[in-house]
Chains A and B, each alone.
Chain A
Amino acid sequence: MIEFKGVSKHFGSTQVLHDINLKIGSGEVVVIIGPSGSGKSTLLRCINKLEVISGGQLYVDGFEVNDPKVEERLIRQEAGMVFQQFHLFPQMTALENVAFGPIRVRGAKKADAEQLARELLAKVGLAERAGHYPSELSGGQQQRVAIARALAVKPKLMLFDEPTSALDPELRHEVLGVMKDLAEEGMTMVIVTHEVDFARKVASRLIFIDKGRIAEDGDPAVLISKPPSPRLREFLQHVS
């Protein structure tokens, strides 16, 4: 589904990703952890070309991401993204936010899109909030609407960029709950997060990134209970 082959990424003269080799299959739930500035968000944003890679090859759903002949919006339609700061469209209600993708990206009819939006809002537990604007919703509710918005385009995989980092601790579980349901349905997910507990319970694979390189890649339960390197052990002590 996703394959990185010797991918590097520079911002000006700073290299943020070094020789990334990574294969993620359909149905995997991959959690990426790592210190701030380690390049984990950049790695995620390369997948849907919000960042353009500087070297190597990257394939997503059969598309070569850095092939200029491949339109990036085709890749993005298959890779839904959820942002740390939600970025719901503030001039639209929750329902309009979720229906927006189907209408503008998939060319759905308004009635069909709204039907789908209602179903997705119900799925994230916000059926009764459909008519509310983002400013009238809590952070946790906004993030759940944002997940529904991304799902509405019917992507094949979902990318989460620190989805709970802007939320109060008691609001996090409602977002993590929705993500857990999604994982159980078999959605392919790549999640950048600091939620180690979520990684242990839900992820099928844990990747630890340090200084722009993949430092560890393996079973979450094993890596978390017996960190093989002092660097990971130290990191886990700091986040939990």
Chain B
Amino acid sequence: MTFQWDAIWSALPVLLEGAKLTLWISILGLLGGVVIGLVAGFARAYGGFLSNRLALVFIELIRGTPIMVQVMFIYFALPLMVPVRIDPFGAAVVTIMINSGAYIAEITRGAVLSINRGFREAGLALGLSGRDTLRYVVAPLAFRRMIPALGNQWIVSIKDTSLFIVIGVAELTRQGQEVIAGNFRAMEIWTAVAVIYLIITLALSYSLRRIEGRLKIL
């Protein structure tokens, strides 16, 4: 079987549409995931009894179930239980938010706890409130330690969006499958799909390396 470049060129506009959607799901989902992760991670590290337990239950629940089950639960089961209508795109974004949020919470907790207790005490001893000490002393140090693990999680989450094929959201993998259903050029199209994912993830790795170079771990 010969590799037909034409099949790729003619499918490219459709695939790029899919790639655009993949990027949107990833960007919105990961922004939300970082917010959820920071809140849950700080709650685990420094929260009171209740917030600590709530965060722990959330993390265990999400880490302990497959993302594919999560997205199907949100898209198919949730509307049966509560009166919400959720479109496939929304379900995909929410799934990435809570799923990456649970992992980012653990990344946050690990980084925060690895900061020498003495820096926190130094902030407190100056007369800063506990909250300001976290904000101005601990968080800037912890963030630097989070970057490598955060990059890892971002790449995992971007690739996880391909699983949303099961709820019919027209992201990159789904678009690839639809093209193949019409032209049967599996070799060309899956190659093109893989390369597009690789371009996205390599661009992310590269920018993370640049950021890491500027924010040394202290």
Contacts and interface: CB of A to CB of B under 8 A. Distances in A.
A89 B128 contact: no
Interface in B121-149: 121-129, 132, 136-137, 140-141, 144
B157 to A, nearest CB: 28
A76 B124 contact: yes
Nearest to A77: B127
B124 A153 contact: no
A85 B132 CA distance: 22
Interface in A86-107: 87-91, 100-101, 104-105
Contact of A89 (B125, B129, B137): B137
Contact of B126 (A76, A90, A91, A135): A76
B126 A153 contact: yes
A209 interface: no
Nearest to B118: A87
A48 B121 CA distance: 11
Contacts of A89: 119, 122-123, 137, 141
Contacts, number: 63
A64 to B, nearest CB: 17
A74 interface: yes
A81 interface: yes
Contact of B129 (A73, A80, A87): A73
A50 B125 contact: yes
Contacts of A80: 125-126
B136 A50 contact: no
A150 interface: yes
B183 interface: no
A83 interface: yes
B65 interface: no
Interface string A96-121: 00001100110000000000000000
